[in-house]
Amino acid sequence: MNQIRRFRMTALAEGSSFLVLLFIAMPMKYLMGMPRVVTAVGAIHGILFLLYVAQLAKLRTTYQWDNRFSLYAFLASLFPFGPFVFDKYLREKEVATS
């Protein structure tokens, strides 16, 4: 599997875990009194976020991505739905390197 494809899959998993954390786990914590859901989903999201950042750093050096693109890739992970929007640009990079 291509490194960029692997990064895209990580980005989508990280983005999905963020949405689950925000829109499912947090309401369950505050509306249903189930704080352990946030603990579990938060841990999974944290691991995926660290994996995302590590892969981004590796791809930045491997493919010599410029600072702007790398910054946008990082910022995309901080916003809900960001990785899904940014996936379009990652697909372009993947096609260009294939």
Per-residue pLDDT tens over the stretch 41-72: 999 999 999 999 999 999 999 999 999 999 99
Alpha helices in 21-81 (DSSP H): 26-32, 35-62, 67-76
**6, 55 contact by CB (below 8 A):** yes
**78, 10 contact by CB (below 8 A):** no
97 against 60, higher pLDDT: 60
**7, 90 contact by CB (below 8 A):** yes
Residue 98 pLDDT class (50, 70, 90 cuts)? confident
| Whether pTM exceeds 0.75 | yes
Question: End-to-end distance of the chain based on CA atoms, in angstroms?
Answer: 11
Residue with tokens 């660290």: 50
